[in-house]
A and B are shown apart, each in its own frame.
Chain A
Amino acid sequence: MNSVRISLVTGSDETNEKLSAIMSSEGYSVIGTHVSGGDALRMVRAHVPELIMINYTLPDMTGRELASIICADNICPVIMLVSSSERVYCEDLVDEMNVVLVEKPMSRIQILSAIDITLQQAKLIRNLESKISKLSDSLESRKFIERAKSMLIVANPESTEEEIYNAMRTASMNQRMPIKRIAELVIEGKMDLGVLTAMA
């Protein structure tokens, strides 16, 4: 059973009810059904769902506008229900914001597969984002360490690169301070090899 929290914004109570019944029967938890985009925006910001299904046509705004706001503010993944003629207005959202388009009329199977695909895709993107963030941090640290290392090599020509790196790493471990911070202190001129060795 799934307990993924989903919100629905379709412009009609009847459609909301039908979709809600399909999702609930599959074990999804429908935490909000909204007719208008404004109502949906007020609620999704308070009760952040894990997925939102939006109809292209809404009484107060287009589903495109609503999807753009939700995606730009990174609230949750979006599935958009479109007619064949509306699809063309939303295709850029697929490329730029990973919105999943489902063309109407749609079957129960199509709805459930769209939910599966969107959730899997969102999970994949989250993992990739987390990896990118870690890699960026590590690249950033590497830049500082290399700069600090080269400054220390110039100041201490008698020491090898390995000795200098080891001194920085050991100081970092002993002082419980990220090696990037040690490197920053070296660059700022607040720490030299003598201090590092003493700390190590």
Chain B
Amino acid sequence: MLQKTFGDTPREGLVIMANYTKQEIIDLVKDNDVRFIRLQFTDMFGVLKNVAIPSSQLDRVLNSGCMFDGSSIDGFARIEESDMHLMPDLNTFVIFPWRPQQGRVARIICDVYKTDGKPFDGCPRNILKKVLKDAADMGYTLNVGPEAEFFLFVTDADGAPTTITHDEGGYFDMAPVDRGEDCRRDIVLTLENMGFEIEASHHEVAQGQHEIDFKYDDALTTADNIMTFKLVVKTIAQKHGLYATFMPKPIFGINGSGMHANQSLSKGGVNAFFDPSDELELSKDAYAYIAGLMENVKSIAAVTNPLVNSYKRLVPGYEAPVYIAWSGKNRSPLIRIPAARGAGTRVELRCPDPSCNPYLAIALMLAAGLKGIKENLTPPPAVNKNIFAMSADERAAEGIESLPGSLMEAVEEMKANPLVREVLGDHVFDLYTTEKENEWNKYRLTVHQWELDNYLAKF
């Protein structure tokens, strides 16, 4: 059902995602005095891009899409095939709840097509759709529920972000210690106005670190929601004089920001991970999915944890996973099975961080899990003790491997696994690995402050 109402204030009754027709969108734009529509898409590295069109052009764009030069976008087309088409996905139409005083702004998320009308291989949304179709062909649909963490930092007098945290609060702290509460409440209200169902929001472990959980949804909607979520968090933080960052480990010595991904498959509308007759009440599919994730996690890490900085989060001592193991109980392994059963039965992969491209990360996690199911894999026994307290020998005895220790290791693992190339396609795979190698090399060649601090005076 359409919700077209607007209240007296910008926070009331905005438009909720629905199955829109072109005419309904045109009517909504007219009724709500929308002046601009942002056509959004995501580049290969998870950065949100957009082209704004005035509302007068909407009719044309809804019918025939919008042309743009893809060669200027990271990971998109080469100069000789640069013309691309943005085709709006009507169901993603949302009116932004902010800045109403200057004419409302709406957005539509788009798929990228080539001029011959075929889906563009470099569009992350198309890549995810392809894997979702493979899953659908096997009878499965994937639901994903992310738990994205972020830091709120104060800006300096020139408006540039600092690493000075907004408060000194800790896990679940309340105001006045939690000074981010006001900003977080504003973010939650804005997200609710945009159709998100917020399940919880709270201060996280580190100073200035916060988490907002929104309800799981089908994989494509969740990937869209993650992109929208990041935009909203950054926009609202700015209105509070703060800078929100999803950088995985902005400060040495305190917890980094992760984005645990809760995932479950359903078949014929029933949770395919639940089997009451099993000791842990998990189905064969669930075990195979876990096994598939574990077997391939090292090779998808360069996507789920895509930055040089991501690997500074994946170290012992800060609740982030390091070792490849699963458990139905404790929280130290990479894969945890939350206690909920029945329709809520799910697998939580704890390594992804919020700097990843959610479309590619979800596509690869699903492909890894499905591979486990296709090949009927069995995971190693669950590890129910604290892995961080085990010695290297004990881990080796139990066959517990580690996640890649750096971006370069992750890229090497990625290149060694044909599954990743198969899912991402040659175009994205080659560009992505080349770009990540360049990123690593730039990092490797840079002389860092740590080196100056430790060596300059000594030698």
The stretch of B34-42, B152-160, B438-446 that contacts the partner chain = B152-160
Contact mask for chain B residues 67-105; partner A; CB cutoff 8 A; 1 contact, 0 none: 000000000000000000000000000000011111000
- Chain B residue at minimum C-beta to C-beta distance from A42: B241
- Chain A residue at minimum C-beta to C-beta distance from B179: A46
In angstroms, Cα B240 to Cα A40, docked, is 9
A37 at interface, CB cutoff 8 A:
yes
Q: Are A41 and B240 neighbours in the complex by a CB distance under 8 Å?
A: yes
Query: Distance (Å) between the CB of A68 and the closest chain B CB?
Result: 6
Q: Are B239 and A73 neighbours in the complex by a CB distance under 8 Å?
A: yes
Contact mask for chain A residues 90-106; partner B; CB cutoff 8 A; 1 contact, 0 none: 00000011000000000
- Count chain A residues whose beta carbon lies closer than 8 angstroms to a beta carbon of B: 22
Secondary structure call for the A interface: helix
In angstroms, Cα B160 to Cα A36, docked, is 11
In angstroms, Cα B182 to Cα A42, docked, is 10
A26 at interface, CB cutoff 8 A:
no
Q: Are A46 and B158 neighbours in the complex by a CB distance under 8 Å?
A: no
Residues of chain B within 8 A of A71, CB atoms compared? 101
In angstroms, Cα B154 to Cα A42, docked, is 8
A27 at interface, CB cutoff 8 A:
no
B10 at interface, CB cutoff 8 A:
yes
A60 at interface, CB cutoff 8 A:
yes
Say whether, besides A38-B241, A39-B157, A45 and B99 are in contact (CB < 8 Å).
no
Residues of chain A within 8 A of B240, CB atoms compared? 41-42, 45
A38 contacts which of B101, B155, B179, B183 (Cβ < 8 Å)? B155
Say whether, besides A39-B241, A42-B240, A42-B241, A59 and B158 are in contact (CB < 8 Å).
yes
Q: Are A96 and B157 neighbours in the complex by a CB distance under 8 Å?
A: no
B101 contacts which of A35, A41, A59, A96 (Cβ < 8 Å)? A96
Residues of chain A within 8 A of B101, CB atoms compared? 68, 71-72, 96-97
Say whether, besides A68-B99, A68-B101, A72-B100, A41 and B241 are in contact (CB < 8 Å).
yes
A177 at interface, CB cutoff 8 A:
no
A139 at interface, CB cutoff 8 A:
no
Q: In the complex, which residues 131-181 of chain B have their Cβ closer than 8 Å to any Cβ of chain A? A: 154-160, 166, 179
Q: Are A45 and B182 neighbours in the complex by a CB distance under 8 Å?
A: yes
Residues of chain A within 8 A of B241, CB atoms compared? 37-43, 45
- Chain A residue at minimum C-beta to C-beta distance from B176: A46
Say whether, besides A46-B179, A68-B99, A68-B101, A41 and B239 are in contact (CB < 8 Å).
yes
A69 at interface, CB cutoff 8 A:
yes
Q: Are B159 and A61 neighbours in the complex by a CB distance under 8 Å?
A: yes
Contact mask for chain A residues 49-63; partner B; CB cutoff 8 A; 1 contact, 0 none: 000000000011100
Query: Distance (Å) between the CB of A54 and the closest chain B CB?
Result: 13
Say whether, besides A72-B99, A72-B101, A46 and B157 are in contact (CB < 8 Å).
no
B232 at interface, CB cutoff 8 A:
no
Query: Distance (Å) between the CB of A56 and the closest chain B CB?
Result: 16
A69 contacts which of B157, B158, B182, B239 (Cβ < 8 Å)? B239
Say whether, besides A45-B240, A68-B99, A37 and B159 are in contact (CB < 8 Å).
yes
Q: Are B100 and A59 neighbours in the complex by a CB distance under 8 Å?
A: no
Contact mask for chain B residues 400-421; partner A; CB cutoff 8 A; 1 contact, 0 none: 0000000000000000000000
Q: Which 8 A-B pairs have the closest CB atoms?
A: A60-B159, A41-B241, A38-B241, A42-B241, A38-B155, A36-B157, A69-B239, A59-B157
A–B complex contacts, Cβ < 8 Å, 18 sampled: A36-B155, A37-B159, A38-B156, A38-B242, A39-B154, A39-B241, A41-B239, A42-B166, A43-B241, A45-B240, A59-B158, A60-B155, A60-B158, A60-B160, A68-B101, A71-B101, A72-B10, A96-B101
Q: 20 new A-B pairs (CB below 8 Å) besides A60-B157, A68-B99, A73-B239?
A: A35-B157, A36-B155, A36-B157, A36-B159, A37-B241, A38-B242, A39-B157, A42-B166, A42-B241, A45-B182, A45-B183, A45-B240, A59-B158, A60-B159, A61-B159, A68-B102, A71-B101, A72-B98, A72-B99, A72-B101
Residue ranges of B at the interface with A (Cβ–Cβ < 8 Å): 9-10, 98-102, 154-160, 166, 179, 182-183, 239-242
